[in-house]
């Protein structure tokens, strides 16, 4: 691993390269916050993909791409005389210090749970911080992640189940209400009840310390592996999936489960 001095030199080199590209490269020169934003979203998802695959080489590469975007936005801010990368770093450090009084102050935290318990209260005290408990949840978050975040934030101020086991009654209640609306054939109400049911399942996952985003992505990847196997075996037989019976596909699916997990 590199020394602190080498790390600082590498970061300085990145800033120097970005300065030169911004000045001499036509593409880099014309970029704005708005033009970069879609790329930033894509790069973030690519990093998440590498993290899910636990591919160290790809994680390193994608972290570099995300870091480039951070520095690029700071460069644009500097050109507008709004802020620069030093302001970004200093504001982050100030926030981290303020939010960790058990490290930089007199507060006591014996475990991670103690830290999380007061996290939202600390954030609400910050100058210019969130005015309400849920106001810090970005509107643009994917719905599944947003549901988990709003539930977690509500929990941090005491709005939660007394016993986690009680959540299953709510899950069953929401499922029953969904089934009623599905049987009635009311699409609008069925959609609303389906949302309530999903929300209750996410809540259950949170209470049992199961991250729903990670869990669902794990299942996505598992399904993709198994389905790809079914398709590959079908093609080896000189056939197409559309020509297979459900029973034939199910047999290959069971093979995939045994071989691939």
Tokens matching residue 217: 């992505």
What size, in residues, is the chain?
Answer: 261
Condensed to tens digits (0 to 9), the pLDDT of residues 15-43 reads 999 999 999 999 999 999 999 998 999 99
3-state secondary structure (DSSP) of residue 222: helix
Give domain limits for the chain. 4-82, 161-210, 214-260
pLDDT, position 128: 57
SS (H, E, C) 123-191: HHHCCCCCCCCCCCCCCCCCHHHHHHHHHHHHHCCCCCCCCHHHHHHHHHHHHHHHHHHHHHCCHHHHH
Q: Which helix (H) or strand (E) element contains residue 77?
A: helix 56-79
pLDDT higher at 60 or 110: 60
pLDDT of 129 > 90? The answer is no
> Could you tell me the pLDDT band of residue 135, with boundaries at 50, 70 and 90?
confident
Q: What are the tens digits of pLDDT across the range 187-212?
A: 999 999 999 999 999 999 999 999 99
Instruction: Give 26: exposed, middle or buried? Use CB within 10 Å, 0-12, 13-18, 19+.
Output: exposed
CA distances (Å), 200 to each of 70, 93, 106, in order? 36, 36, 38
Given a cut of 70, whether residue 120 has pLDDT beyond it is no
Confidence at 130, pLDDT banded by 50, 70, 90:
low
Which pLDDT score, from 0 to 100, does residue 173 have?
97
**How many CB atoms lie under 10 A from the CB of residue 195?**
14
CATH of 4-82 given 1.10.287.1080, 1.10.730.10, 3.40.50.300, 3.40.250.10: 1.10.287.1080
pLDDT for 133: 80
What confidence score (pLDDT) does residue 249 get? Answer: 94
* Amino acid 117: pLDDT: 66
């Amino acid at each position: 691993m590199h020394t602190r001095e080498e790390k600082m030199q590498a970061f300085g080199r990145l800033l120097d390269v970005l300065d030169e590209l911004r000045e001499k490269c036509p593409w880099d020169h014309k970029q704005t916050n708005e033009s970069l934003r879609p790329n930033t979203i894509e790069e973030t998802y690519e990093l998440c993909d590498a993290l899910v695959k636990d591919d160290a080489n790809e994680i390193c590469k994608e972290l570099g791409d995300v870091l480039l975007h951070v520095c690029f936005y700071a460069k644009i801010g500097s050109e507008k005389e709004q802020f620069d990368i030093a302001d970004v770093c200093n504001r982050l450090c100030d926030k981290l210090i303020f939010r960790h009084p058990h490290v930089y102050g007199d507060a006591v935290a014996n475990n991670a749970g103690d830290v999380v318990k007061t996290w939202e209260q600390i954030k609400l005290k910050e100058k210019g911080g969130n005015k309400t408990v849920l106001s810090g949840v970005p509107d643009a978050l994917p719905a599944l992640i947003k549901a988990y975040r709003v539930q977690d934030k509500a929990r941090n101020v005491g709005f939660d189940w007394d016993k986690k086991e009680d959540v299953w009654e709510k899950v069953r209640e929401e499922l029953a209400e969904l089934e009623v609306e599905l049987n009635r054939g009311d699409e609008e109400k069925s959609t609303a009840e389906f949302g309530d049911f999903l929300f209750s399942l996410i809540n259950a996952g949170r209470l049992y310390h199961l991250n729903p985003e990670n869990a669902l992505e794990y299942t996505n990847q598992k399904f993709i592996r198994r389905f790809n196997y079914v398709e590959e075996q079908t093609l080896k037989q000189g056939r197409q999936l559309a020509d297979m019976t459900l029973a034939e596909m199910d047999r290959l699916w069971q093979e995939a489960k045994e071989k691939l997990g």
